[in-house]
Amino acid sequence: MSTGSALLIAGTTSDAGKSVITAGLCRAFARAGLRVAPFKAQNMSNNSMVTPDGGEIGRAQALQAFACGLAPSVEFNPILLKPGSDRRSQLVVMGQAVGDVGARDYVEHRLGLREVATTQLDALRERFDVVVCEGAGSPAEINLRSTDVANFGLAQASGMPVYIVGDIDRGGVLAHLFGTHAIVSAEDRALIRGFVINKFRGDPSILEPGLTELEKLTGVQTKAVIPYIDGLWIDAEDSLQAPVGRVLGSAPALGSQRLRVAAIRLPRISNSTDVEALAVEPGVTVTWVTDGDSIEDADLVVIPGSKATVSDLGWLRSRGLDTALRRRAGRNGPILGICGGFQMMARSIDDPVESRAAAPVAGLGLLDLDIRFEASKTLINHGDGSYEVHHGQVGRSAETPWIGNEGAHRGALWGTHRHGYLENDCSRREFLTAVAGAAGKDGFIVSGDASFDGKRRAQLDLIADTIESHWDLDQLLAEVSTPANVARSAANR
């Protein structure tokens, strides 16, 4: 029987701030001495990572585990959906791909998957004082309620209180909260323990009358109004946080010159977080782009990962970006391809797996190698912060490997299947020094102490500090704790 406490952070919409609030609570509870774990029963994201034991989970759950002081594990995200098109997603269960599903056939899987999720949550509750669960999308999707895995379906199965987060920055937050409360069943409504307003700017006294009226209408108290936190960008949950034109990195340059990085915003981008490590370095500015002029002007262009390599390669061609990339390569302009982006740089791509193309398609031809997609997926955690998750394999290659015996490097061209490689501070500095030399930026100087993990930890602490200042966490623990856990929590605190 489960003994530890658990609560569910749900959101009125996707990108309402569930992942950030969950990470902040995990960090705050861990700092208070509680044994805390994150949990997301079902995630839909192409931002994933490989755990030390070789399983694949959502990147956000890896961040939340870091906030708890834990190594990432498949038990924190037992079900992962990776969209490859508007209609099909790869289904990953307990870290391993089990096939592709569409919206209709996925419904058939859900009841069995709910058992997977509840079993994992029960196991976590046996080992931890509190488990902070993150919902998926909106809990008000009543058309999906009968087979719900991650929201009220999980909460009912596990007896968890639910806190609903609304993003006031996008407008209509009171209607979102009221509507969510009104549309769900009475049974589910009874589990809602509180509302949370996220990303608030301005004078709280102006908002207060609305919150008072909302409580009169619903009987649910707003537990916290969390202010907008500037500068959060580490480990984004999904590609919604990588819009075209967004700029990452603002630290002053240490030398006389900056490095400008153009990261191509692919339609089916995966692991957009890879470029964040570059932005940690002082004097490096990263911008998400989709235009040829930016590719021409930047000091470094990054072609990131993709869950649909052949499709996104076609998108590059449709916008003329393939021509801009070849022109750039012809004048020795630095280009980095990561995973799917690396595959696009090849001479040919034979993909009967993801795109189901009947014949090989021509790549960008920037690197003299060929890619063949295999049905089995490569999942490797290299133990240095980098990891591989891909179906595409390098076949013939006339290029010099870049990292050990992996990837490719020639002149100002780099390619690798490794995600997270540039999070290693020494590796990033070595790479950026080479880029600056190739770009003729002799005035750029790398930092001797910039730390990706330090930046990640600082952002988590900032989130936790903000939540602690605006939400009574002692009261929250009292609301969600079993009698046995209340005593344990008090002792730890």
Please identify every residue annotated as catalytic.
Answer: 419
> CA neighbours within 13 Å on the CB side: how many for 226?
30
What is the Cα–Cα distance from 89 to 103, expressed in whole angstroms?
Answer: 9
Contact 168, 197 (CB under 8 A): yes
Q: Identify whether the C-beta of residue 27 lies closer than 8 Å to the C-beta of residue 459.
A: no
Residue-wise over 353-380: b if at least 16 C-beta within 10 A, else e? bbbeeeebbebbebbebbbbbeeebebe
How far apart CA 320 and CA 316 sit, in angstroms, is: 6
Handedness of CA 162, 167, 172, 174 (dihedral sign): positive
Return the structure tokens found at 236.
């984004």
The secondary structure element, H or E, covering residue 24 is helix 18-31
CA–CA separation, 166 and 173 (whole Å): 6
Phi, psi angles (nearest 5°) of residue 419: -90, 155
278 contacts 421 by C-beta, under 8 angstroms: no
**To 10 degrees, the CA torsion angle through 121, 126, 131, 137?**
10
Going by C-beta distance under 8 Å and a sequence separation of 6 or more, which residues neighbour residue 58?
Answer: 40, 43, 45, 47, 48, 49, 77, 80, 237
Backbone angles phi, psi at 397, to 5 degrees: -145, 130
